[in-house]
Homo-oligomer: A and B are copies of this chain.
Amino acid sequence: MNTLIKNGLVLLHGESGWTCEKRDVLIAGNRIERIAPDVEPQDCTVIDATGMLAMPGLINAHTHAYMTFHRNYADDMAFFDWLDKVQVLEDYMTEEDVYWATLLAACEMIRSGTTCFVDMTIKSAQETDGPRSAAAGAVRDSGMRAVISRGLAGVADSEESIMKFGQAVREMELFKDESRLQFIHGPHAPYSCMADYLQKLTQSCKERGIGQTIHLSESRTEMAGVAEDHGTTPIQYVDGLGVFDVPVIAAHCVYATDEDIRLMAEKGVSVALNPKSNMKLGNGFAPAQKFLDAGINVCLGTDGCGSNNSLNLFSEMNVASLVYKGATEQAQCVSAADVLRMATLNGAKAIGREGELGVLAEGALADVILVNLNEPQFMPANNIVSGLVYSAKGSEVDTVIVDGELLMEHRRLVSIDEAKVFEECRAIMERLDAQVQERL
């Protein structure tokens, strides 16, 4: 079935940057077929977008969707104390828990205009159907698009590592026909994943033609630890192991040095900024403008709900547009237009889908959101790009389409039974709380 979005504005990106034009958008199957004024509806569903802006769905370049259960669970704590507390909860999570937690994440992401996310999760589905299908199954059932990695830590040849790696690879096989799902590897971090494992995962990426995502230079403690153990920075250390020889999304990079930045630019590493998480855990501010100046592909993530505590990319864009100005005392740095690119085009590039995602263009995949401009925070509408970044809440997203399929219509979720998800998640959280209490 085709869909025609009529009477709205469309957010386009060209050589001169962002523009808003009065255009209709015709979706045929899962792709955008036409963007033009006054397209006549023929044999298609018409969405009246009067007073709305059609724009590319946002891409969350770094999150842990299963951590919705950690939301508002361990707040106002130092980084490594926090990590200890959240890991206790994780220990008790099953595949089913991850499935429901990821569906809860999908509810929040769809409602705030995210259509695609890069996930680092803790279970790999070994079944394709039902709640045991973990994050992959939840994404498939939600209708969203995602790039899923299994977070892996430890050494390469332990029994546990061999098992988890095998599960991750088997999951890729099981879901290989799901066109909205991609898989990459997810070595957790240089301090948690030993050298041999980082090398094994990189080798596996090469064999499978996939990329990987890793936490890098997130905290001062990590910097000090890697300096002591390896005499260099985390970024230069993993580069020395060949990690950057495949496409990489490096999350955080708060403490990237000038040499690290030069190196990441040279190797084509994408950096996923997570400003809210970095502040909440007391880690500080990444050198975002330096990344941009070096030509690095900078994208934007929310991190998990344990350290944010939301998955709202509009809120993350807002914060990203502000904190780097604050940290550098330069009001001109990291502009609204830059931030909007991070959450759209650059996210698409980071997952190897440049031109197909993160833009509204003829031939691109139909991941489209409609934003209701008829709210006071957008009035009197001096500049729409500024409005999206500086003034929007995320709740202005009225309609969400992924791969041509309607996932939210006038703020009603179509693909997910939200009440059922809330009910399941509340019950699971009660059980997890009891299990954690018992252990303490």
Contact = CB atoms under 8 A, between A and B. Distances in A.
A326 interface: yes
Contacts of A104: 376, 379-380
Contact of A374 (B276, B282, B374, B422): B422
Contacts of A279: 322-323, 325-326
B68 A379 contact: yes
Given A71-B377, A107-B376, A282-B325, 7 more contacts: A73-B382, A275-B326, A281-B325, A305-B391, A310-B390, A311-B377, A381-B426
A282 B326 contact: yes
A310 B391 contact: yes
A309 B391 contact: yes
A72 interface: yes
Contact of A280 (B322, B379, B393, B422): B322
Contacts of A321: 280
A425 B377 CA distance: 12
21 contacts: A69-B380, A71-B377, A71-B382, A71-B387, A75-B335, A76-B335, A78-B330, A104-B376, A220-B329, A276-B322, A280-B321, A280-B390, A282-B330, A305-B391, A309-B387, A309-B390, A309-B391, A310-B390, A323-B323, A376-B418, A381-B429
Contact of A315 (B68, B315, B325): B315
Given A391-B309, A394-B393, A325 B78 contact: no
A332 interface: yes
B75 A308 contact: no
B390 A72 contact: yes
Nearest to A337: B76
Interface in A313-343: 315, 318-319, 321-323, 325-333, 335-336
Contacts of A245: none
A386 interface: yes
A108 interface: yes
A105 to B, nearest CB: 8
A322 B325 contact: no
Contacts of A309: 386-387, 390-391
Interface of A: 68-69, 71-73, 75-79, 82, 104, 107-108, 111-112, 220, 275-276, 278-285, 305, 308-312, 315, 318-319, 321-323, 325-333, 335-336, 374-377, 379-384, 386-387, 390-391, 393-395, 418, 421-422, 425-426, 428-429
B282 A426 contact: no
Interface of A is mostly: helix
Interface centre among A284, A330, A384, A393 (most CB of B within 10 A): A393
Given A377-B312, A379-B426, A329 B391 contact: no
A282 B328 contact: yes
Given A278-B326, A283-B329, A325-B280, A377 B108 contact: yes
A308 B264 CA distance: 33
A54 B336 CA distance: 35
Contacts of A395: 393-395
Contact of A82 (B75, B319, B331): B331
B390 A425 contact: no
B379 A326 contact: no
A35 to B, nearest CB: 24
Given A279-B323, A319-B322, A391-B310, A332 B382 contact: no
